[in-house]
């Protein structure tokens, strides 16, 4: 979300949102500028007064045309270069006197050719006075993480470009930096190797294998920025200034061919190719609906029969839609242990809610209780498919298969991951009962297979013929 | 856990001679130790400035040992000084320009004209021990060796790739770690090649420094140089001793080449800043021998390893290792104090010496000055003639060798050894030949200058010819270039940068050589010709200090001026128009 403000003369920027970050920024740059002094006493302004924050938990990409000062900006933020004006803060302390913990991965790898891979990775630890055996352990572990196990004694000369950059990553990560800076790390590699390394980096980041809190990437490759970053900053040149700064809300893994991706790339391309125009707002990105996670937990089906659910709901409605569960059990001379599964089942299907020990009937529950048998079955069917994963899966599997039968084993396998053998059996039993009642599917006990009920079998076949 | 063998390790062939190597190493160590004791006792003995040099061959080993010791010590001093000088110059922008200018001038000053002065000064400094005289000779050799190494280290430091410096900063390397892991390895190759050149130059000066005359008195140090000079100036000439002396000299040089330089060059491949393997590599059996596990490799690793850990641990507490030092800041901090301090020390010293010089030169007549100028002109012509003649034969030969890789592989090591043999050692032989022919020293000195300096040009032309990219050569073939076209369009422009480098070195060497080649004692005669070098030698011989000073100033000024006006311009042309890569 950006505010459109009338820019002052000569500026082509959209100001960064003024919403204060909820989390403390790790690195915060306040009005930093960089001049380069010429011998003729002329000063060239390379970066004009800029504010920038790096907050934990995000990958920031800095994009811009060549010569706009991206690398200079990176060096100022990492403490390698002192801004001519303004101040950079590390956890709110001036960076020049703070003990910062950052690493840089370089475009040309910057490995020392006369040291082995292991020596190269150990060197930063040596600088920190880590004892030799600890150093070795940590380095071997990180080399394993980046996939270079076995190459410790090799020299950089013997490695390919991709492997050299892996060593670069290993060296950067062995010190467990809080912020990882990357200066066009993949531009010296061929396309496939770069792709590989990018996805491995994302994996390390997503699985939190590395304790790095934030990544700052400088790149001139728009696609790379949109693939990796959670936040993109576009820099303009003469002098360097931020033109736009927006969040990328596409969910990982990102699909290059998806429409929102292409739209974003186009937008950035337009911004870059029209350096004199104020950039428009970033396109609205629908947070893509998360694909159904197939590894969701199976709900434990309460062992009760549909008839019992129906009865309970009618009784509840009779009492005005709300009753204390224990009193109900008393009145019906039920053991509470016998009543609870029915209550649970009804709650699972969304027919009632439990509030402070009371069972409260819902709208759909009311409808169910008031309907006659066939309508009840329909309602039950809808509720079951909507709320019960196992039933939904069985139904979908049956519809997908051409012969509309599925062996029971298939589902037992998956249930086994959550429940014991015995419980699996009982779950299947209850599922079969509910499925039969709701006319979702039928069960061939002889062959231990789920089948579609006959009538619907024909329906489905007819609709398939029509296609 | 030992890492598995990789490509790097499998290159060293596995054999089982480790005991022999260990023994050899121990013997070498023992010899080294004994040598130090012998040297120490000799140095602490009473000073004998005019020692009698024996002619017998049996004295040769001892003399050779003394000479080698002098060169080795001078080289060590040069190395330490060169590294320090280059380091300070590279990292202090305020003093940098001054330091490089001083380097330039000092490089151009003829070392040999300071021979008597330095010797006398050192003898006065340490009158009671032989050490004083020795120090004098070592100091002179040092001044001949140090400047090109300093310059090489300095320019290596300035050309370290930026990203490697940034990596060392962001990972908070201490200055110590940076020096041993980045700066020194990066400069290693340049330092090694310049060391070879320096040591060769050291022999050149040593031969002359070990025996010279001043105000009628003869100064002699026991060594190979004085042995050769004594043999040459005996009456009649002791050819037997001369030949033996030369043989020993050549043996030492060959041994140095095989046992020290070649292994070093092979080892320095590790420091080549290439991203891929190169096809041609210098091999050295000695290096492979030493690299196999033996006492030499295990002992230092254990001792040094423990010390190193301790050092790094202590260093990690310093500010430099806890806070990232920005790159652009270092210039400001160190630069202010140092130049002020230097100026404070240097100013009164400079003023005092200028005053003394004025006193000394007050009495010179115009006639003297005219003579000096004439001599300068003559030597100038000779130097240029020698460069021209050298170029005339080294260019064709060098290009032929350089274009034929197989030929290059055989001949390059040989030329290296031949070039290391100091021309000053061969002068007596040449002089004898010249006298036989009956030629005068006027032309003879050109031949002598040639001998000392043509190798620089040859080396560089070979390197230049090897560096011409093969695709340019293919263009010449495909388009059927005539021989003339090949030479004028491809070869000469291609080798131009290297040629210029070689000529600059040759020119400097020729001026230095003029001092010994234009004025010569042989038998009981003294040969000399009109020339600045002769005038310097004559002045030194007769003890005419004011003449000596004036002549030296004149020579230094000519060399520096030539550098600025001619060589610098040519070098810039070579760097811009004729540079092969972008």
pLDDT of residue B522 exceeding 80, the answer is no
A132 touches chain B (CB under 8 A): yes
Which of A102, A118, A157 has the CB atom closest to B277's CB atom?
A: A157
| Longest Cα–Cα distance in chain B | 81
Produce one character per residue of B550-561: b if its CB has 16 or more CB atoms within 10 Å, e if not. Answer: bbbebbbebbbe
Q: Is the Cα torsion angle A336, A342, A348, A352 positive or negative in sign?
A: negative
Distance CA(A179)–CA(B77), nearest Å, equals 46
- CB-based contact, B4 to chain A, within 8 Å: yes
Closest residue in chain B to residue A164, using alpha carbons only: B275
- Digit-by-digit pLDDT tens for chain A (467 residues) are 333 434 444 444 444 554 545 678 899 999 999 888 766 667 788 888 999 999 999 999 999 888 888 999 999 999 999 998 899 999 989 998 888 999 999 999 999 999 999 999 999 999 998 999 999 999 999 999 999 989 999 999 899 999 999 999 999 999 999 999 999 999 999 999 999 999 999 999 988 888 899 999 999 999 999 999 999 999 988 788 888 898 988 888 888 888 889 999 999 988 888 877 777 777 766 655 555 544 557 778 888 888 888 888 988 888 888 888 888 888 888 888 888 888 889 988 989 888 888 888 998 899 998 888 888 899 999 999 888 888 888 888 888 888 888 898 888 888 887 788 888 888 888 999 999 988 888 988 888 889 888 765 566 666 666 65
CB A144 within 8 A of CB A186: no
pLDDT confidence of residue B11: 46
Residues of A in contact with B312 (CB under 8 A): 126-127, 129
Segment (H or E) for B415? helix B405-420
| Residues of A (220-259) whose Cβ lies below 8 Å from B | none
Q: Which residue has the higher pLDDT, B14 or B327?
A: B327
pLDDT at res. A171: 95
* pLDDT at B444 (0 to 100): 79
H-helix or E-strand spanning residue A243: strand A241-247
pLDDT tens digits along B268-324: 878 876 544 444 556 677 777 666 666 556 666 777 777 888 888 888 888 878 888
Asked if B4 and A110 come within 8 Å (Cβ–Cβ), the reply is: no
Return the biggest CA–CA distance within chain A. Answer: 101
Radius of gyration of chain A (CA): 31
Q: What is the pLDDT, as a whole number, of residue B552?
A: 82
User: Residues of B numbered 467-526 whose beta carbons fall under 8 angstroms of chain A's beta carbons: which are they?
Assistant: none
Task: Kindly tell me the burial class for residue B146, based on how many C-beta atoms sit within 10 Å of its own C-beta (0-12, 13-18, 19 or more).
Answer: buried
Distance, in Å, from the CA atom of A436 to the CA atom of B418, rounded to the nearest integer, reads 103
Using CB atoms and an 8 Å cut-off, which of residues 113-172 of chain B contact chain A?
161, 163-164, 166-167, 169-172
What pLDDT score does A5 carry?
A: 39
| Cβ–Cβ below 8 Å for B171 and A103 | yes
> Does residue B388 carry a pLDDT above 90?
yes
CB within 8 Å of B46: residues ≥ 6 apart: B128, B129, B130
Q: Alpha-carbon torsion A360, A363, A365, A370, what sign?
A: positive
* pLDDT at position B10: 46
Rounded CA-CA distance B275/A15 in Å is 44
Give the Å distances, CA to CA, from A337 to A140, A221, A319, A330, A344.
57, 63, 21, 12, 11
Are A154 and B8 within 8 A, CB to CB? yes
What is the pLDDT of chain B when averaged over all its residues? 80
Q: What is the pTM of this model?
A: 0.72
Least confident of B18-32, B90-104, B329-343: B329-343
pLDDT, residue A373, reads 86
Structure tokens at A368: 């169910």
Give the pLDDT score at B133.
80
Predicted pLDDT of residue B200: 86
* Contact with chain A for residue B311, Cβ under 8 A: no
- Residues of chain A with Cβ-Cβ distance to B161 below 8 Å are 108, 110
Cβ of A100 and B324 within 8 Å? yes
Q: A105 pairs with which residues across the strands?
A: A182
């Amino acid at each position: 979300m950006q505010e459109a403000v009338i820019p002052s003369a000569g500026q082509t920027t959209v100001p960064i949102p003024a919403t204060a970050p909820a989390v403390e920024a790790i690195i915060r740059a306040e009005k930093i500028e960089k001049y380069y002094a010429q011998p003729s006493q002329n000063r060239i302004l390379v970066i004009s007064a800029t504010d920038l924050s790096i907050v934990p938990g995000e990958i920031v990409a800095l994009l811009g045309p060549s010569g706009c000062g991206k690398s200079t900006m990176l060096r100022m933020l990492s403490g390698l270069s002192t801004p001519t004006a303004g101040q950079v803060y590390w956890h709110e302390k001036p960076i020049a006197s703070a003990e910062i913990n950052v690493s840089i991965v370089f475009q040309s790898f910057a490995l020392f050719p006369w040291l082995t891979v292991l020596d190269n990775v150990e060197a930063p630890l040596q600088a920190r006075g880590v004892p030799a055996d600890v150093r070795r352990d940590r380095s071997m572990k990180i080399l394993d993480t980046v996939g270079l196990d076995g190459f410790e004694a090799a020299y950089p000369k013997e490695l390919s470009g991709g492997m050299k950059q892996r060593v670069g990553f290993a060296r950067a990560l062995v010190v467990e930096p809080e912020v990882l800076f990357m200066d066009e790390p993949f531009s010296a590699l061929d396309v496939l190797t770069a792709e590989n390394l990018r996805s491995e980096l994302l994996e390390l980041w997503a699985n939190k294998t590395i304790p790095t809190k934030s990544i700052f990437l400088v790149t001139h490759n728009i696609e790379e920025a949109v693939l990796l970053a959670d936040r993109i900053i576009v820099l303009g040149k003469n002098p360097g200034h931020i033109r736009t700064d927006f969040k990328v809300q596409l969910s990982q893994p990102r699909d290059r061919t998806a429409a929102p991706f292409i739209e974003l790339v186009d937008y950035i391309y337009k911004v870059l190719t029209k350096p004199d125009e104020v950039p428009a707002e970033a396109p609205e990105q629908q947070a893509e609906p998360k694909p159904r996670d197939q590894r969701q937990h199976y709900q434990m089906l309460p062992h009760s029969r549909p008839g019992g659910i129906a009865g309970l709901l009618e009784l509840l409605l009779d009492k005005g839609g709300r009753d204390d569960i224990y009193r109900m059990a008393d009145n019906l001379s039920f053991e509470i242990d016998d009543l609870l599964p029915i209550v649970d089942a009804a709650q699972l299907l969304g027919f009632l809610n439990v509030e402070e020990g009371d069972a409260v009937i819902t709208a759909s529950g009311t409808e169910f209780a008031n309907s006659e048998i066939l309508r009840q079955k329909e309602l039950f069917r809808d509720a079951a498919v909507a709320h019960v994963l196992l039933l939904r899966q069985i139904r979908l599997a049956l519809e997908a298969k051409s012969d509309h039968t599925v062996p029971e084993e298939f589902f037992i396998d998956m249930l086994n991951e959550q429940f014991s053998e015995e419980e699996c059996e009982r779950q299947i039993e209850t599922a079969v009962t509910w499925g039969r009642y709701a006319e979702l599917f039928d069960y061939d006990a002889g062959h231990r297979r789920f089948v579609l009920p006959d009538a619907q079998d024909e329906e489905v076949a007819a609709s398939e013929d029509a296609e | 856990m030992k890492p598995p063998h990789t490509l790097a390790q499998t290159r060293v062939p596995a054999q089982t001679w480790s005991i022999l190597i260990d023994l050899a190493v121990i013997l070498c160590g023992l010899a080294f130790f004994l040598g130090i004791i012998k040297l120490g006792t000799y140095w602490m003995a009473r000073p004998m400035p005019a020692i009698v040099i024996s002619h017998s061959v049996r004295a040769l080993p001892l003399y050779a040992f003394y000479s080698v010791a002098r060169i080795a010590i001078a080289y060590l001093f040069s190395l330490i000084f060169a590294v320090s000088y280059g380091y300070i110059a590279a990292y202090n922008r305020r003093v940098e320009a001054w330091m490089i200018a001083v380097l330039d001038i000092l490089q151009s000053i003829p070392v040999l004209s300071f021979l008597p002065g330095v010797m006398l000064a050192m003898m006065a400094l340490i009158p009671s021990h032989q050490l004083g005289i020795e120090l004098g000779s070592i100091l002179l050799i040092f001044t001949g060796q140090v400047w090109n190494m300093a310059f090489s280290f300095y320019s290596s430091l300035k050309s370290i790739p930026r990203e490697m410096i940034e990596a060392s900063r962001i990972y908070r390397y201490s200055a110590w770690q940076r020096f041993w892991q980045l700066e020194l390895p990066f400069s290693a190759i340049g330092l090694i090649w310049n060391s070879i050149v320096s040591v060769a130059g050291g022999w050149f000066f040593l031969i002359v420094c070990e025996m010279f005359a001043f105000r009628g008195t003869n100064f002699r140090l026991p060594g190979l140089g004085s042995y050769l000079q004594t043999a040459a100036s005996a009456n009649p000439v002791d050819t037997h001793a001369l030949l033996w002396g030369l043989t020993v000299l050549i043996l030492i040089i060959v041994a140095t080449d095989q046992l020290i330089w070649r292994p070093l060059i092979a080892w320095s491949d590790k420091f080549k800043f290439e991203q891929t393997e190169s096809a041609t590599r210098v091999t050295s059996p000695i290096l492979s021998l030493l690299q196999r596990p033996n006492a030499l490799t295990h002992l230092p690793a254990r001792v040094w390893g423990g010390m190193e850990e301790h050092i790094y641990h202590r260093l990690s507490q310093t500010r430099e290792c806890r806070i990232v030092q920005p790159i652009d800041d270092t210039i400001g901090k160190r630069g202010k104090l140092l130049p002020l301090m230097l100026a404070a020390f240097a100013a009164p010293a400079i003023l005092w010496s200028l005053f003394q010089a004025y006193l000394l030169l007050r009495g010179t007549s115009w006639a003297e000055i005219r003579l000096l100028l004439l001599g300068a002109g003559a030597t100038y012509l000779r130097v240029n003639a020698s460069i021209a003649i050298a170029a005339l034969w080294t260019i064709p030969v060098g290009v032929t060798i350089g274009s034929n890789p197989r030929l290059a592989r055989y001949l390059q090591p040989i030329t290296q050894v031949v070039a290391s043999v100091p021309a000053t050692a061969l002068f007596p032989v040449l002089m004898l030949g010249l006298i036989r022919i009956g030629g005068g020293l006027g032309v003879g000195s050109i031949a002598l200058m040639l001998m000392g300096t043509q190798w620089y040009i040859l080396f560089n032309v070979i390197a230049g010819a090897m560096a011409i990219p093969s695709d340019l050569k293919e263009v010449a073939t495909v388009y059927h270039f005539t021989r003339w076209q090949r030479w004028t369009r491809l070869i000469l422009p291609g080798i131009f940068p290297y040629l210029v480098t070689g000529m600059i070195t040759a020119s400097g060497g020729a001026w230095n050589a003029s001092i010994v080649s234009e004025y010569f004692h042989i038998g009981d005669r003294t040969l000399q010709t009109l020339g600045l070098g002769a005038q310097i030698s004559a002045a030194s011989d007769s003890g005419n200090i004011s003449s000596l000073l004036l002549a030296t100033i004149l020579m230094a000024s000519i060399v520096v001026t030539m550098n600025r006006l001619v060589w610098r311009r040519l070098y810039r042309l070579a760097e811009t128009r004729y540079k092969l890569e972008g």
